[in-house]
Amino acid sequence: MQKNPKSTTRIARGTAQILALVRASMSSTSRIEDRYWEQNLQQTLQKLLAAGQDPAIEAALETLCVNETEVADTLLEHAQNASQTAMLTIDGQAWQCLLMTAPLAVWTRYQLPQAALNQQAQEQLSKALRDTVLAPGVHVQLISQLLSLDEMPRSFGQIYQWQQQLGALACGMRTEPPKPDKSENNPSLLADTRHLVFAALAPVDAPLFRWQADLRTTRQGCLKDWIGQSQGALAALLPGCQFDILLPEAYHSSVQLSETHMRTVAIRSACEWLQDTLGLAAGELRATLVAVGEHEPQEWRIGFHRGQSQDVIYGTIWPLFEQQPSENLEHGIIDAGDEIAEVLKQNGVKHIKRIPGVFKPESCEDCEAPYFPNPTGELVHVELPEEAFDAPMHFH
């Protein structure tokens, strides 16, 4: 299909404008100038998002990623902010809107349920958010189900549309709520993230969060209160599941927070399930680790095996995220491999082998399942023992 020349020209013009603004912002020498460039960049990005011109933003990011990584990081931060925030004027009152999620890390021995919120659950969770995390007077509008990442918007344009629709609903305007993408509802999924997606609406220049409204309040204290008030309603939505409740945050940071936390939950739930399902004695479950990526590590893969056997009976993936510290000498953790080994030890795996080097990300050509390392350093297909065939077989 040929591209529309006019559309291509608009995208190129938008990309050029974004590049000029973000590069100018990097040379600022005062907070006054910072605010000027930030406001102009925010307005430009939101105009492009409202017009469906995501490709202009993506093209600018790709251009900067080649030789101007610091500028690319700055633009990414601005693009994320532009997609999840907005200013609305209703009956002469100016409001600020933030798209947020309240994330959960969920695991089970059975099957993760689809969790729809009835009116009572929506009211209960909305009240809990207002009473524990959000400042007094903040309006809330929830999506009426707990969502997996596959059901949530990922592009800047889609996130912006959700923020606009939920913000309009939060202030009482009649509009259709966002429609989540349909989930495949994998019946063998044992552990995954779930998100309560919502818009928070407050008057411009008023506090949005409780710790802004009262300086004696801490984020940790708000998390403790949120857990206490939301746990009952969430447990009713997730029968047969265990879950960790994380602090509600802005959309982009909340997604990364939950995915980072999910890495340890995936290992914890895998170890628990394998040891219980296969009746393994203490120390019999072992693990092999390798770094995987095209040129540098992009993730770590963990292959589980029994005793001296070379067969990989299960595997989990530990994705690497940008802007995470690689050293923590105080706790003896040098890199992600050491961090993974520490989590494995905490969950009863004492024999851990780390294969040096960076492996290509190989997967099965037939079923597309990723390969995991065996103790000899080969990436192989998982072969679950016969006694586990009747149990669900996939974690995060």
Question: Which runs of E-coded beta strand occur in 247-338?
Answer: 249-250, 285-292, 299-306, 314-319
Same domain, 20 and 99: no
Number of domains in the chain: 3
Same domain, 123 and 246: yes
Same domain, 96 and 72: no
Residue 293 included in any domain: yes
Place of tokens 């411009």: 204
Rg from Cα positions in the chain: 23
Contacts of 161 (CB under 8 A, 6+ apart): 153, 178
User: Strand, helix or coil at 199?
Assistant: strand
Residue 272 included in any domain: no
Residue 335 included in any domain: yes
Same domain, 65 and 101: no
Question: Which runs of E-coded beta strand occur in the chain?
Answer: 85-90, 93-108, 115-116, 139-142, 145-146, 191-203, 241-245, 249-250, 285-292, 299-306, 314-319, 352-359, 372-373, 379-380
Residue 263 included in any domain: no
Same domain, 104 and 242: yes
352-359 and 285-292: which strand pairing?
parallel
Torsion of CA 348, 353, 357, 361, to 10 degrees: -60
The two structure tokens encoding residue 290:
């390798």
Residue 120 included in any domain: yes
> Chain-wide mean pLDDT for the chain?
89
Same domain, 62 and 26: yes
Other C-beta atoms closer than 10 Å to the C-beta of 194 total 25
Same domain, 187 and 235: yes
Spatial distance between the Cα atoms of 372 and 287, rounded to a whole number of angstroms:
10
The last residue of a domain, from among 57, 85, 113: 85
Dihedral pair phi/psi, residue 184, rounded to 5°: -75, -15
Sequence length of the chain is 396
Residue 167 included in any domain: yes
Same domain, 31 and 173: no
Place of tokens 């589980």: 304
Residue 69 included in any domain: yes
**Sign of the alpha-carbon torsion through 275, 276, 277, 278:** positive
Q: How far is CA 247 from the centre of its chain?
A: 13
Contacts by 73-79 with C-beta closer than 8 Å and gap 24+?
73/323, 74/22, 74/25, 74/26, 75/18, 75/22, 78/22, 78/38, 78/41, 78/42, 78/45, 79/45, 79/156
Q: Are 114 and 187 in contact (CB under 8 A)?
A: no
The last residue of a domain, from among 53, 85, 117: 85
Same domain, 251 and 287: no
Place of tokens 């540098």: 296
Dihedral pair phi/psi, residue 225, rounded to 5°: -70, -40
Task: State residue 32's pLDDT score.
Answer: 96
Residue type, 105: A
Same domain, 182 and 292: no
Spatial distance between the Cα atoms of 270 and 260, rounded to a whole number of angstroms:
16
Is 41 buried (19+), middle (13-18) or exposed (0-12) by CB count in 10 A? buried
Same domain, 53 and 130: no
pTM: 0.87
The last residue of a domain, from among 199, 223, 255: 255
Same domain, 105 and 239: yes
Other C-beta atoms closer than 10 Å to the C-beta of 274 total 24
Question: Domain range for residue 223?
Answer: 91-255
pLDDT along the chain (396 residues), means of 10: 62 93 95 96 96 94 93 96 91 91 91 89 97 96 94 95 93 84 62 95 95 96 97 95 96 94 92 87 90 90 92 92 50 77 93 93 87 93 74 47
Other C-beta atoms closer than 10 Å to the C-beta of 93 total 10
Residue 299 included in any domain: yes
